[in-house]
Structure 1
Amino acid sequence: MPDILIYKGEEYSLHINPLDEFFYKNPDVKLPKSSTLVISSALWRGYLATFEIKNDYFFIKNVQTLTGDGKGTAESRWKSVINDIFKETMSRRLDWFSGLLILPRGKVVDYVHLGYASTFENYTLLEIDKGKCVKERHFSTEGYSKFKKKQFKAFKKTDEYNRLINKFNEQGVSKKRAIANIRNRVVYYSKKILVD
């Protein structure tokens, strides 16, 4: 289940989970524990986040967890936990986030039963820099594929690319496998639109 972005009055699925970075950088912040929390194979991260771009800024609107009835039955419901994670209203503007938001649009062209690996008819990329939307690009399936190849070529010239290769190496991942991983997820790793 993808997170949701509200942008220009429309609701989109996101092919990135912006709160992953928040939880990584803030290990003391956790989803609330509950004896009725439901973890689904469709939602391993345990939450569904809703974001919004408003006046060009990136905000978190809600974080929900799926809870059961505590009796082991199939009854479940969504419970908002945003106030447990973001206690102050001002902290809901995500100035700490820089990266690319991937918004697939249209029909599925090629279904892959693995995370965000399916291919769609169209894509929108939004570049967020310290919580502000600074660029927007639109692609067809073919255009997005070409963009990712050019993006990877440009990303290989950056210090961040070399840092990632070293990080994978420290984790025991071969250079060949690390390069393949970065190539496949270049939009996630590169954080900025590097090519026209």
Structure 2
Amino acid sequence: MKFLKVFFAFIFLVSFKSFATSQVSDYLIIKEDTLAIQSNPLEGYFKDHPIPGKFITSISSANWRGYIAYFKFLDGKLVVENIYREIYKENSNGKADYLLTSIYEDVFGTNSNFECNYYSGLLICPSGKILQYVPMGYSSIYESYNLMEIKNGVNLKSKKFNAEEFHKFKRDYFKYFKRTEEYKRKAKDFKETIQSDLSNGLYLSENPGIGRKNESLKAKEAEFKADKQVDSFMFAFLNDYMKTIEIPTN
């Protein structure tokens, strides 16, 4: 599929840092189905209400959040059904057993079904076969997708896509996103990080006359490479910034 080749040429320009590993998903329970979500609705809440460190998993490359959350809809509203930390214990054979332990009451108290009325965005639920595995965030490509638009915790609408339709949707949304102030702020942060890494790790040329590193040339090339990588990085993690099924036109 041509679009997959274009997509991965784009993706692998990314500077691989802590997100350069496939991530454990949160999940959405709908009737008898439990769907993986390529978005994390609790992250915005935890920025203002951090989980005490003792209640979360030691952050790993495959679970940078340190928890796994399960959601459901209750009267059309998105709520937290449960939240777990991962625990690894050695069994009698000397191997590690993987266990999930609920931390719901430690985080949200005794009231069940914590309402996500702070959250507005897309729940992106992939399904079917993996057409292409990408070991970075939620970048793997699946056969189909179900997108659900949430506004202040309320489920407004949903739409299904095949793989190619979803990738086109992301490309078109990215064109809009690049015009926003949010993109400019995030891109600036990414560029500074990437440029710093390139400057610290890459010496581009030396002056043969005096044997000194050309710091000016090194900085210019680092800036040039950072500019080229920012768009790739932002596109790879666009799921975090897509808010609506209908792409805004303003």
Cα distance in 2, alignment partners of residues 8 and 111 from structure 1: 28
Across the two proteins, how many residue pairs are aligned to each other? 193
Cα distance in 2, alignment partners of residues 54 and 5 from structure 1: 12
- 1:51 is aligned to 2:71: yes
- 1:185 is aligned to 2:237: yes
| Farther-moved stretch of structure 1 (18-27 vs 74-83) | 18-27
The one-letter code of the counterpart of 1:109 is: L
| Farther-moved stretch of structure 1 (164-173 vs 51-60) | 164-173
TM-superposed CA distance for 1:108, in Å, is: 0.9
TM-superposed CA distance for 1:99, in Å, is: 1.5
In structure 2, what is the equivalent of residue 3 of structure 1?
26
**Aligned ranges 1:1-196 → 2 under 5 Å:** 1-27=24-50, 29-33=51-55, 42-69=62-89, 74-89=96-111, 92-169=114-191, 171=193, 173=195, 174-195=226-247
State the identity as a percent.
33
- Structure 2 unaligned residues grouped into runs of 5+: 1-23, 196-225
The one-letter code of the counterpart of 1:182 is: M
User: Contact 1:15–1:103 at 8 Å: present in 2 too?
Assistant: yes
User: Contact 2:137–2:237 at 8 Å: present in 1 too?
Assistant: no
**Which structure's residues are more often helix, by fraction?**
2
Q: Give TM-score scaled by structure 1 length.
A: 0.83
Distance change >3 Å, CA 12–CA 32, structure 1 → 2: same
Q: Deviations over 1:36-89 (max 9, x none)?
A: x67666444332110112222110011112224478752342211100001152
User: Contact 1:38–1:68 at 8 Å: present in 2 too?
Assistant: no
TM-superposed CA distance for 1:92, in Å, is: 0.4
SS at structure 1 position matched to 2:176: helix
Cα distance in 1, alignment partners of residues 228 and 119 from structure 2: 29
Instruction: Determine which structure has more spread, i.e. the larger CA radius of gyration.
Output: 2
Distance change >3 Å, CA 186–CA 46, structure 1 → 2: closer
Q: Deviations over 1:139-178 (max 9, x none)?
A: 0001001111111112222232223233334546534322
Cα-Cα RMSD: 2.8
Distance change >3 Å, CA 167–CA 192, structure 1 → 2: farther
Higher RCO (CA-CA < 8 Å; seq separation 6+): 2
Cα distance in 2, alignment partners of residues 69 and 39 from structure 1: 16
SS at structure 1 position matched to 2:247: coil
Cα distance in 1, alignment partners of residues 238 and 73 from structure 2: 23
Distance change >3 Å, CA 172–CA 76, structure 1 → 2: closer
Cα distance in 1, alignment partners of residues 173 and 229 from structure 2: 18
TM-superposed CA distance for 1:134, in Å, is: 1.6
Cα distance in 1, alignment partners of residues 63 and 238 from structure 2: 23
Cα distance in 1, alignment partners of residues 78 and 89 from structure 2: 34
Q: Give TM-score scaled by structure 2 length.
A: 0.67
SS at structure 2 position matched to 1:97: coil
The one-letter code of the counterpart of 1:133 is: N
- Structure 1 unaligned residues grouped into runs of 5+: none
Cα distance in 1, alignment partners of residues 31 and 137 from structure 2: 26
